[in-house]
Structure formats: structure tokens, C-alpha cells
Amino acid sequence: MKAVGRLQSWRRIAEWRLFRSDDRLLMILLALVVGACGGLAAVAFNRGLTALFNWLEPFRGEPWAFVLPGIGALLSAVFLHRAIRNSADNGVPNLIHAVSRQGGRMRSRSILSPLVSSCLTIGSGGSAGPEAPVVVSGGAIGSGIARLFALNDRQQITLVGCGAAGAIASIFNAPISGLVFAVEVILGEWSSLNIIPIAIAAVAGTEVSRTLRGNQIAFDHRLFDIGLPDIIASAGLAVVAGLASVLLTRMLYRIHRLSGKTGGPVWLRAAVGGCAVGFIGMALPVVLGEGYHAIDAMIAGHFTPGLAIVAAATLAKILATALTLGSGGSGGIFAPSLVIGSLAGLTYHRALTMFWPSVEWIEEGCFALLGMAGLISGMLQAPLTGIFLIVEITGGYEAILPLIIVSTVSTTICHFLEPASFYMKDLVERGQLLRPGTDARVLSDMQVGELLETDCTVVSPGMRLRQFIEVIKRSRRNYFPVIDPESQRFLGLVRLDDIRPYLFDPLLYDAVVMGQIMDSQVATAGPEDDLNEVLQHMDAARLFSMPVVHQGRFLGMISKATLLDRYRRELMVQTHWR
Amino acid sequence: MDLTLSQIAGCLNVAEPTLERWIRQGRIPVERIGGECRFNRAALERWARDHHIHFSLAAAETEPVVAVSGGLAEAMRRGGVHRDIGGDSIDAVLKNAVAHLTMLPPPMQYELHNQLLSREQLSSTGIGRGVAIPHPRSPFTGIADLPLIATCFLDHPVDFNAIDGRPVFVLFILIGDSIDCHLHLLSRLAFCLRDDAFIDFLRNLPPAEALFDRIATLERPLAESGY
């Protein structure tokens, strides 16, 4: 073993003896790197966003300020569609798609493109969140590093999760939320193989953020003293938050579809959507941008407007977010969900104090906080992410009881009304969401080519029944493909079951040839066909096996018996972890 | 030991593309050194055990399906030709015939006789034209030289409840060590006995060598067709 030979290329780090003994060690090291990079991306993005927002601040008083979000959305759309000719890689759904269908492979340009386009959208005042772009960027960094070291798919997926965890952990200074978000939302699989590197990445991301930005809790507040009435009332808030989540989800999709139908260039649609947001912002400035300042004010109890205005602001923020993102702007739903959640919480609190003024309710800030948990849990349909995020960003463990109630009830309501969360809806509709260990996942991994039975005896169309009986005697199968001896084309299939009556009739032995008795209308599958579709076809036609034919050539048979055997093996390999 | 991917796929009883995918997806323990994959046997076996997947290196050498070997003539040589078997009933004839099979120890002869009789009680093995093929109901084990066919000419024809009612003059006692082997020999023997000329030949009580030669000639086309 020559160490020099192995060290000559630093990219071959995965082959060092230290890591060959156990790849978990390698994963932990890489997770550290990926988490830190994700954290750095988050800090850099945050700095850029703040700079742009502050630079535009003087213009916000001008009467034409409403066009600012429009210009931002326009530039963002132009950047995505013209400069990098790619509009599809920038959302969390794409990250989940990459994890679910592509073994975690993401394009390298996804490291930068979401950051730039979202910075334009949000910095100019569009109502969108800075988290999704950072998460996607972090995931793309993880994927890039995995490819650099030629890691396998499972490890690559873990590193994508690490990048996402590092990003979330860094943005919110919240390591547990990063970990839970990556596992619950991005990977959808709780296994120690994933959790350990992702936890390390979350720590790295958080530490990067703390070093560069200081260790501050995002939304600090006074201690809440929560009583029984508040806990009971939180169930009602959960319903409000759940409904608000469903409304936001549906409106986002509605406007997206509407915008798609109207036609016209993408940048124009984005600009129109942005300007509409600008108009709303003229009346209710709280809807503009990511909205973290507004959340701060609401939790601290400094948000003064009355019930009607807060309720209107809640709906306006939902509309503004749907307009920004649905019309082509770039960004996420994390921050808008937090703003909508705290607005909804505030609305609910004001309504409570109006109807039951005699009860001594807790401060409105607490309900703002609970509303955020409800919205996040509802939008992502990820209760744990909602609970941990709010606990960490508010530093308020004392609210944990109503927090759990709001998160779980809101998730349940959303799941009942919208079976798939905002991130997954599109993927589920396209049948692209394949969580590990599920039937669809196992089937999509297996290729028709892996199931081929090639030990079939091939016969020619001119073969007489007499000769064929000799073939049957020596064969172990009940299916005999008929192949043209000259062109080698597949002509049809002889099934033993179909010709059984003739086998015992010696008069036919020389009178019948294979070409006459074969089934030439037999349904065939191709080697590239989707296994799920092949199976559905077999079920519909009540077939037990099918010939696989590629460009007229017979490749083999595919049968349910082999499929069961291989399916079971695949399931065992996919679901048992060491 | 160097194994190819397809051999390891064979050990695990999966297709080669499946194994390649498992390597790519990181589902199977493997060291990748440059473009080469290296499996550690112990790690692979542990992995297979953890996943309840059967793994055996023996399966790598794909054993060809062993055709039931050995021809009729060899089995008949092992069984020998016996003449002048006395007796007036199925029981007596079988008892005397078995007594000639000196390669079997007496307790086994007794066991064989019982088994042959119980088979005759199910239905006669007299297949017509004076021939019977007594055989035990289940494969006979515990004898070294199997399969064997003992040719026993009777000193006078005996009523055997044969399907055509004709008395039997010759017995072929067939002892196989497996059902496959049993059916294989039975089928070849039946093929030979369809030949009228061969029956006539048997009626002339041919010497042992002549009989074996004749059988070898008859079964050659069968052996060549692989059946």
C-alpha cells in the first residue's frame, strides 16, 4: 500500500484508509464542511438582502414606490429566464424532487441562482422569504461536494440534507430546527445514518452564523405566563392558522395557474405581480419584504393597529405573497408564513379580548408566536419543524404546551383540506414524490431490465408442432417467444396454456406451425418502461408475464413471480439500515 | 479471491444492473478505488445477513442443470440378468426374483420385496405383452450402486394382472435413487418395449451381453436427442 499513490489526488479523500474503515467518519467531516458552507451562504445572502433593502429605503416614501417590487420581480425573472435560462431549479420542491428522484443530484448553478434572483425579488420589497433560496443553495452545495468526492447516492442525499440544515440553522440561529427541517421536510426519513451528519451540519451552520453575526435570538421577548384559558384558546388559533395556511397554499397555486394562462412574457407577468404587491404595500407597508421587523414588533407587543386593520393585513399579506411568488418572483414561503402567522395570532387575540374582555388573556405577543408555529406547521405539514423553530427563534420554552397543540392541530387541519403540503403538492400531482421505503420508491428504483428472464427457449415461426413438443420437453418455461430467424424480429408468443388441447392431438403434429398458433397481438413492454406502468398494464389485462421487446428484438420475459422475488429483496435492502 | 460483478450478483441472486445500482445508491458495502469496486467478503456477508438476504459464494459458479445421467444399459448391467425365476403368484415370483439380487443384504431384500408388493397392490406393473416392471413406490436409498434394473426371466409365464391380461415372462425390477432418475429410466425402458422386435428378442431369452448391446443400440437415438 503506497500512501503517496493514494494521496496524490486530494479528491480521492474518500479512499484514504481512515475513511475506508467506516464511511460514517467521512460523512461527518463532509457534513461539517457542507453545514458551514450552507451557513456562510445564509449569512452572505442576508447581508446582500439587507444592503439592497437599506439602499432602496429612501425611495419608499416616493409616490412611485409601488413599482419597486415590480422592477425587482422583473429583474429576477429576466435573470432566471435569460441569464441562466433556468427557472425550474430554485424552489424547495425542486430540492425535494432531486432528493426523491435524482439521488440528490443538483446543478451547480443552483448554488448561486436562487440567491441572486431572490435577493432582487425580496430586497425590492416583494413578499417572499429568504429561507428557501438559502436552503436550495445549501442543498446544491452539499450535492456539489458529494459529486466532487464521488460519493454514492445515499451519501449525496444526506449531504443535500446537511446543506439545507446548515442554511436553516444559520438563518435562524436554530440548530435543532435545521436538523428537524432537513429530516422531516427534505429527506422524509428518520435514520441515524442521516441524522448524525445533519446534526453536525446544523451545529456548523449555527456556529458560522454566531461567529459572523453574533449569538442573538431572532425574536427575543419577555417571559410569558401561560394559563389554562390560553391553552384552551390555542386550539381555536390552530383552526385559524390551519385555514390561513390552506388559503395561502390555494391562492399561490391559483395565481400561479392564472399567471400561466394569461400568456405574455414571463418578466412582464412578474413585473405586474410585483407592482400589485407595491400597491398593497402603499396601504399596508407590513406586507412588504421578508417582514422580520414586523414580527419583532408584534411579539414585543408594539404593533398598535386595531382588529380590522390587523385582519386586513393578514389577508393582504397572503395575497401579496401569492402575487409575488405566483406571478414569477423568486423566494420562499418561510418568512411570509411567519408574518402571516403572527398577524393571524394577533387578529385572533384581538377578537378574543373583544368577545371575552373579562378573561385575563396572555399578552398578544404570545399568540403571535403561536400563530407562527401554526402557519409553519400547516404550510409544511411538518409539526416538529414548527414547534422547534418557534421555540428556538423566540427562546421561549415556556410556551411549549400551546405550541404543540397549535402545531399539531394546524397540521391535521391542513392535511385534511390539502393532503399534500405546499412543497409536495406539485410533486405528488406529478407522481414524483417518492419517500424512502415506500412501494412507489421501490418500484421506481427497479428497472425492467433488471427483472429480465432470459432463459426462454426461442422458436421460429416455421417450426412444426411435432418439433415444438420436443422443445417443450426440454424447457422449464410456459412461454415461448417466436422470433423470425432472418430479421431476428419478435413476432409473437406461444403460451403453453393456449395450445394445451392441441398438444395431445397427434393429427396436428405436422399440420400446425408456430406461426399459426402464436399470439401476435401480445402486449409487450420496453426495457426503459416505467415498472409501475408495466405492472398496472399487467394487472389490467390480467397477465402474469409479458415479453420485453426493444426495437423489435426480444430481450426476455418479465413476470410477476420474478418481480415478487426481486421486489422483496429490494425492499429489504432499502428499509433495513445497519 | 477476485470475483466479477456478475458473480457477486449471482451470489446474491439479483441481476447485474441491480447490483450496479445498489453500488451507485450506496446500499451495499463496497470500496471504490478509482474505477474499481472492491468488496470485502466479511463485510458483504454481514450485510447480507443483516438484510436477511441469502448470500452464498457457491451460487457464483452457476451449476448447470444436471441431466439425469446414465443410460439404461448401464443400469441393466448393474442389475444383472437372472434366469429361471420360479413361482406361481406375484408374491412368490417377486420373492424369488429379489432373492437373486445378491448385491442387496438380506434385510434390504426383505424391505424391497415388501415395497414391490405394496406397489403391485396399487395396480399391476404388468405393462402388457408379457412384460412387468416392478418397482418400489418411493425411491430406494441406502444402496451404493443405483440406479439398477434387474432383468429376471421367469421359468414359466405367470399371471400378473397385466393390463392386457397376458401372463408375464420377464420382469424388469427397477430401483432408482430419485424420482427423476426413476421416471427417466422408466420412460426409456417403455420406449424400448414398444418395439415388437425387441419383445420377440426377449422371448428368445438372449444372453446378457446381447441384451445389453441391443438396449444400448435402442437408446442411442434418445440419448442423442438429449431426452
**Chain B: residue nearest A569 by CA?**
B53
> Based on the domain organization, do B212 and B191 belong to the same domain?
yes
> Based on the domain organization, do B20 and B121 belong to the same domain?
no
Please report, as a single letter, which amino acid is at residue A187.
L
Kindly determine whether residue B26 and residue A578, on different chains, have CB atoms separated by under 8 Å.
no
* Parallel/antiparallel/unpaired status of strands B131-132 and B168-175: parallel
Final residue in a domain of this structure, among B60, B82, B99: B60
Spatial strand order of the sheet with B126-128 comes to: B81-85, B148-158, B168-175, B131-132, B126-128
Indicate whether B156 pLDDT > 70. Answer: yes
Indicate whether B226 pLDDT > 80. Answer: no
* Average pLDDT rounded to a whole number, residues B67-74: 68
Final residue in a domain of this structure, among B60, B83, B102: B60
Question: What's the pLDDT at A12?
Answer: 59
Indicate whether A409 pLDDT > 90. Answer: yes
Q: B204 by DSSP, 3-state: which?
A: coil
Question: What's the pLDDT at B180?
Answer: 78
Question: Which residue from B25, B33, B50 is facing A153, i.e. has the nearest CB?
Answer: B25
Burial bucket for residue B94 (CB in 10 Å: 0-12, 13-18, 19+): buried
Residues near B109 by beta carbon (within 8 Å), at least 6 away in sequence: B98, B99, B101
Burial bucket for residue B35 (CB in 10 Å: 0-12, 13-18, 19+): exposed
Kindly determine whether residue A574 and residue B28, on different chains, have CB atoms separated by under 8 Å.
no
* Average pLDDT rounded to a whole number, residues A5-27: 60
> Based on the domain organization, do B26 and B94 belong to the same domain?
no
> Based on the domain organization, do B23 and B105 belong to the same domain?
no
Q: Tell me the per-residue pLDDT of A112-142, one tens digit each, with 9 for 90 and over.
A: 888 888 888 888 877 888 888 899 999 999 9
Which positions in chain A touch B52 (Cβ < 8 Å)? 572, 576
Question: Which residue from A103, A445, A572 is facing B51, i.e. has the nearest CB?
Answer: A572
Query: What are the φ/ψ torsions at residue A275 (nearest 5 degrees)?
Result: -65, -40
* Average pLDDT rounded to a whole number, residues A270-277: 83
> Based on the domain organization, do B99 and B193 belong to the same domain?
yes
Question: What's the pLDDT at A2?
Answer: 34
Q: Which of A9-13, A197-201, B77-81 has the lowest mean pLDDT?
A: A9-13
The shortest C-alpha distance from A496 to chain B (Å) reads 20
Indicate whether A262 pLDDT > 70. Answer: yes
> Based on the domain organization, do B117 and B173 belong to the same domain?
yes
pLDDT band of residue B64 (cuts 50, 70, 90) is very low
Kindly determine whether residue B27 and residue A576, on different chains, have CB atoms separated by under 8 Å.
no
> How many C-beta neighbours within 10 Å does residue B157 have?
12
Q: B182-210 b/e with 16+ CB inside 10 Å = b?
A: bebbbebbebbbeeeebbeebeeebeeee
Indicate whether A408 pLDDT > 90. Answer: yes
- How many residues would you count in chain B? 227
Residues near A230 by beta carbon (within 8 Å), at least 6 away in sequence: A361, A362, A366, A402
Question: What's the pLDDT at A576?
Answer: 64
Give the residue numbers spanning the domain of B100.
72-224
Residues near A484 by beta carbon (within 8 Å), at least 6 away in sequence: A460, A461, A491
**Residue B199 to residue A499: CA distance in whole angstroms:** 36
Indicate whether A384 pLDDT > 50. Answer: yes
Final residue in a domain of this structure, among B60, B80, B100: B60
Kindly determine whether residue B25 and residue A152, on different chains, have CB atoms separated by under 8 Å.
yes
B198 belongs to a structural domain: yes
Which positions in chain A touch B15 (Cβ < 8 Å)? 449-452, 566
Burial bucket for residue B58 (CB in 10 Å: 0-12, 13-18, 19+): exposed
Kindly determine whether residue B53 and residue A573, on different chains, have CB atoms separated by under 8 Å.
yes
Reported as type and span, the H/E element at residue A495 is strand A490-495
CA dihedral B136, B140, B146, B147 (to 10 degrees): 30
Residues near A171 by beta carbon (within 8 Å), at least 6 away in sequence: A42, A46, A130, A131, A134, A209
- How many residues would you count in chain A? 578
- Let me know: does A496 contact A519? Beta carbons within 8 Å: no
Q: A86 by DSSP, 3-state: which?
A: coil
What ipTM goes with this model? Answer: 0.73
Share of chain A above pLDDT 90, in %: 24
> Based on the domain organization, do B113 and B196 belong to the same domain?
yes
Chain mean position to CA A1: 44
B26 and A CB contact within 8 Å:
yes
pLDDT band of residue A376 (cuts 50, 70, 90) is very high
DSSP assignment string, A534-556: HHHHHHHTT-SEEEEEETTEEEE
Q: A315 by DSSP, 3-state: which?
A: helix
Q: Of the candidates A174, A176, A196, A198, which has an alpha carbon nearest to the alpha carbon of residue A186?
A: A198
Give the residue, A166 or A520, on which the prediction is more confident: A166
Which positions in chain B touch A154 (Cβ < 8 Å)? 25-27
Kindly determine whether residue B26 and residue A154, on different chains, have CB atoms separated by under 8 Å.
yes
The shortest C-alpha distance from A14 to chain B (Å) reads 9
B54 belongs to a structural domain: yes
Q: Which residues pair with A483 in a beta bridge?
A: A490
**Residue A14 to residue A151: CA distance in whole angstroms:** 8
Question: What's the pLDDT at A248?
Answer: 92
pLDDT band of residue A4 (cuts 50, 70, 90) is very low
B80 belongs to a structural domain: yes
Q: Which of A76-85, A129-138, B56-65, B210-219 has the lowest mean pLDDT?
A: B56-65
pLDDT band of residue B52 (cuts 50, 70, 90) is confident
Indicate whether B62 pLDDT > 50. Answer: no
B31 and A CB contact within 8 Å:
yes
Q: Tell me the per-residue pLDDT of B124-153, one tens digit each, with 9 for 90 and over.
A: 888 888 899 888 877 777 666 778 888 999
Q: B32 by DSSP, 3-state: which?
A: strand
> Based on the domain organization, do B77 and B43 belong to the same domain?
no
**Chain B: residue nearest A449 by CA?**
B17
* Parallel/antiparallel/unpaired status of strands B81-85 and B148-158: parallel
Kindly determine whether residue A20 and residue B22, on different chains, have CB atoms separated by under 8 Å.
no
Kindly determine whether residue B31 and residue A452, on different chains, have CB atoms separated by under 8 Å.
no
Query: What are the φ/ψ torsions at residue A548 (nearest 5 degrees)?
Result: -105, 120
The shortest C-alpha distance from B25 to chain A (Å) reads 4
pLDDT band of residue A3 (cuts 50, 70, 90) is very low
Which positions in chain B touch A446 (Cβ < 8 Å)? 18
* Average pLDDT rounded to a whole number, residues B28-42: 78
B17 and A CB contact within 8 Å:
yes
B27 and A CB contact within 8 Å:
yes
pLDDT band of residue A8 (cuts 50, 70, 90) is very low
Query: In this complex, how many residue pairs, one in chain A and one in chain B, have their CB atoms less than 8 Å apart?
Result: 63
pTM: 0.75
Q: A166-202 b/e with 16+ CB inside 10 Å = b?
A: bbbbbbbbbbbbbbbbbbbbbbbbebebbbebbbbbb
Indicate whether A47 pLDDT > 60. Answer: yes
> Based on the domain organization, do B214 and B126 belong to the same domain?
yes
Picking from B5, B8, B14, B55 by the largest number of A CB atoms within 10 A of its own CB, the best residue to mutate is B14
Reported as type and span, the H/E element at residue A218 is none
Indicate whether B227 pLDDT > 60. Answer: no
B21 belongs to a structural domain: yes
- Let me know: does A88 contact A102? Beta carbons within 8 Å: no
B160 belongs to a structural domain: yes
What domain count does chain B have? 2
> Across chain B, what does the average pLDDT equal?
81
Q: Which of A243-257, A549-563, B38-52 has the lowest mean pLDDT?
A: B38-52
Question: What's the pLDDT at A405?
Answer: 93
Q: Which of A163-177, A322-336, B65-79 has the lowest mean pLDDT?
A: B65-79
pLDDT band of residue B25 (cuts 50, 70, 90) is confident
Alpha helices in A67-112 (DSSP H): 67-78, 92-101
Q: A221 by DSSP, 3-state: which?
A: coil
Q: Between vectors from CA B16 to CA B15 and to CA B19, what angle results, nearest 5°? A: 95
Indicate whether A88 pLDDT > 60. Answer: no
Q: Between vectors from CA A218 to CA A215 and to CA A75, what angle results, nearest 5°? A: 110
B67 belongs to a structural domain: no
- Let me know: does A397 contact A335? Beta carbons within 8 Å: no
Handedness of CA B39, B45, B50, B54 (dihedral sign): positive
Distances (CA, A) of A73 to A91, A107, A146: 16, 23, 33
> Based on the domain organization, do B56 and B149 belong to the same domain?
no
pLDDT band of residue A578 (cuts 50, 70, 90) is very low
Q: Which residues pair with A479 in a beta bridge?
A: A495
Question: Which residue from B21, B32, B227 is facing A150, i.e. has the nearest CB?
Answer: B32
Q: Which domains does chain A have, with CATH numbers?
A: 8-213 (1.10.3080.10), 228-429 (1.10.3080.10), 443-575 (3.10.580.10)
Kindly determine whether residue A446 and residue B32, on different chains, have CB atoms separated by under 8 Å.
no
Which residues of B are marked as active site? 135
The enclosing domain of B145 has a CATH number of 3.40.930.10
Question: What's the pLDDT at A169?
Answer: 93
Burial bucket for residue A501 (CB in 10 Å: 0-12, 13-18, 19+): exposed
Kindly determine whether residue B18 and residue A450, on different chains, have CB atoms separated by under 8 Å.
yes
Which positions in chain A touch B223 (Cβ < 8 Å)? none
Q: Tell me the per-residue pLDDT of A315-342, one tens digit each, with 9 for 90 and over.
A: 999 998 888 888 877 788 888 999 999 9
Residues near A66 by beta carbon (within 8 Å), at least 6 away in sequence: A275, A278, A279, A281, A282
- Let me know: does A423 contact A93? Beta carbons within 8 Å: yes
DSSP assignment string, A517-537: HSBTT---B-TTS-HHHHHHH
B65 belongs to a structural domain: no
> Based on the domain organization, do B114 and B183 belong to the same domain?
yes
B66 belongs to a structural domain: no
> How many C-beta neighbours within 10 Å does residue A448 have?
23
Indicate whether A7 pLDDT > 50. Answer: no
> Based on the domain organization, do B50 and B100 belong to the same domain?
no
Indicate whether B171 pLDDT > 80. Answer: yes
**Residue A490 to residue A344: CA distance in whole angstroms:** 66
Residues near A209 by beta carbon (within 8 Å), at least 6 away in sequence: A39, A42, A43, A169, A170, A171, A173
Q: Which residues pair with B37 in a beta bridge?
A: B32
* Average pLDDT rounded to a whole number, residues A142-169: 91
Q: Of the candidates A279, A262, A328, A331, which has an alpha carbon nearest to the alpha carbon of residue A78?
A: A328
Task: Supply A223's cell numbers.
Answer: 417571559
pLDDT band of residue B70 (cuts 50, 70, 90) is low
Question: What's the pLDDT at B49?
Answer: 85
Q: Of the candidates A289, A269, A284, A172, which has an alpha carbon nearest to the alpha carbon of residue A219?
A: A172
Which positions in chain A touch B53 (Cβ < 8 Å)? 569, 572-573
